[in-house]
Structure 1
Amino acid sequence: MPASEDQLKTWMVDGLNGDAAAYAALLKALVPTLRAFYRRRLGDEDAVEDLVQETLIAVHTRRMSYDRDRMFSAWMFAVARYKLVDHFRRRRQHCDLDGIDTLLAFEGFEEEANARMDVDALLVALPAKQASLIRKTRIDGQSVAEAAHEAGLGESDVKVSIHRGLKALAMRLRGGRG
C-alpha cells in the first residue's frame, strides 16, 4: 500500500531537518509510486527504471526547493513530469496533444491538491480560532470534545465557533460578505 500524503510529507520534512532514516524511507516509498507513474506512460521497462532513478536524483538535488507548507506529492509529481518531458525530448518522441492532460496528470493527487488549496484559501479568510477548529473537526476528523480539549476550550465554545465559521464560509461562497 502506498504511503499517504501526510506520511510522505513528514518523511520529507524530517529529512530536510537532518533525519537520514526518514529521508531514506521517503526515497524507498517513492520507488513503486514512480514506477507505476512511468509504466502507465511508457512501454519500455528500461526507460521506466531510468526515469525512476533520474527522478529520485532530482528529488534529492532539488529537495531544498520544496515548500514545507505545500503538498509533497504535488511537488514530487511535478519533478516526475519534467523528467518525463525531458525523456520525450531526448528521444524526439511526440505525443498526441489531445491526450497531454491525461499523460501529465498527477495520479489523483492533483484533485486533492487543488481541493486542499481551495479549502486553505477559504479558511485563511476566517479568524484563526474558527479556521483551526473547522480544520480539526471537519477535515482532520477530530471530535468536538477532542478539539476542545486540545485547544483548551469548552465544547460549547468550539461548537459555536465552528457554526459561525461555517456560516461565514457559506455566505462567502454564495457571494455575500462573511
Structure 2
Amino acid sequence: MNPGPDVTDDGRSRLQETESSLKAVFARGLEGDHNAYRCFLQALAQNLRAFLKRRIPAYRDDVEDLVQEILLAVHNARHTYRPDEPLTAWLHAIARYKLMDFFRSRARREAMHDPIDDHLDLLSAVDDEPLEARRDITKLLEALPDHQRLPIVYMKLNGFSVKETARITGLSESAVKVGVHRGLKALAARLRGV
C-alpha cells in the first residue's frame, strides 16, 4: 500500500516490484483471465492483511472482515481503474475509504455502549414539556368561541374526521371546516400579538 516518507531504497524497489506484478495480473484479469484475477485477489488480500494489522492493531479480530470488504469494493470498482495510473495508489484510496467507514461504524457502535456513570441522574428530572404545552394550548383555546374551539379540539387534537366532529358538536360539516380555519387563524393572530 502507501510506502510513507521513511521507505528505504530496498523498500522502494520491493514496492515497485509489487506494483508491477499486481498490475500485470490485474490487467490480465480484466481481460478475462480468471486465474490471473484470482492470483491478483490472493496477493492483494495478503498485502491488505499486513497493511491492516499495522494500521489497526487494536482491532485484529476485524481485519479479515475488512479485507473482504476491501476486496469486494476493488472488484466492484475495477471498471474505474485507469491503466496509466499506479495500481497501488488506486488500491490504497479504496482501502483508505473502507478503513474510514470502519472507524465511523465502530465509533457509532461504541457510542451506543457508553456506560451511564451516574444512574441516579437518570431519574433526577422529569420532562414535563408535553404537559406544559398541553396546558398552554388549553389556555389559548379557552379564548375562542365554542364554534371554533370545539372543531379544533375534536379534529386537530383528538383526530376525529369532519363528519364525526359535526355529529358530536351539532354543527354542519361546512361549519366545522370554517370553525377550524377561523379558529386557527385567530390563534395565530393572538400568538403574533395582533
TM-score normalised by L of structure 1? 0.49
More helix per residue: 1 or 2? 2
Larger Rg over CA atoms: 2
